[in-house]
Amino acid sequence: MDRSNGIGECVCCTITLAFYFAREYYTLIKELPTGKGFADICFLPRGLYMDKPAMIIELKWDKNVQGAIAQIEDKKYTDALKDYHGNILLVGINYNKKTKEHTCIIKKKCFDFFSPHTFKESGICKK
The CATH number of whichever domain residue 41 belongs to comes to 3.40.1350
Q: How many domains does the chain divide into?
A: 1
Residue 65 CB coordination number (10 Å): 22
* Domain-embedded: residue 95: yes
1 domain residue, yes or no: no
Q: What is the pLDDT of residue 54?
A: 94
Is residue 2 in a domain?
Answer: no
- Residue numbers of the domain that contains 43: 7-126
Residue 67, in any domain of the structure: yes
Within a domain: residue 32? Answer: yes
Average of per-residue pLDDT values in the chain: 79
Which regions of the chain are under pLDDT 50?
1-4, 116-117, 119, 124-127
CA angle 118, 119, 121 (to 5 degrees): 155
User: What's the pTM value of the predicted model, to 2 decimals?
Assistant: 0.77
Residue 91 placed within a domain: yes
